[in-house]
Amino acid sequence: SDLREQEERGELLQPLIFVLLVLCSVLLYFKVSLMDPGFVKPEEEAKAGEAEGQGLVIPQAVGDVKLRRCGYCLVKQPMRARHCQLCQHCVRRYDHHCPWIENCVGERNHPLFIAYLTVQLVVLLWGGHVAWSGLYFQQSWEWLKYNIFLLLSFLLIVIFTTVVLLLLVSHLYLISCNTTTWEFMSHHRISYLRHSELENPFDQGIILNLWRFFC
Active centre residues (catalytic) = 98
Distance of CA 108 to the CA centre of its chain: 11
Residues pairing with 84 in the sheet: 89
* Residue 9 buriedness (CB in 10 A; 0-12 / 13-18 / 19+): exposed
Question: CB-based contacts of 75: which residues, under 8 Å, 6+ apart?
Answer: 40, 41, 42, 44, 45, 48, 69, 90
Query: Helix or strand or coil: residue 137?
Result: coil
Which residue in 90, 110, 103 sits closest to 181, CA to CA? 110
| 184 strand-pairing partners | none
List the one residue out of 107, 116, 91 whose CA is nearest residue 213.
Answer: 107
Residues pairing with 39 in the sheet: 91
d(C-alpha 182, C-alpha 165), whole Å: 20
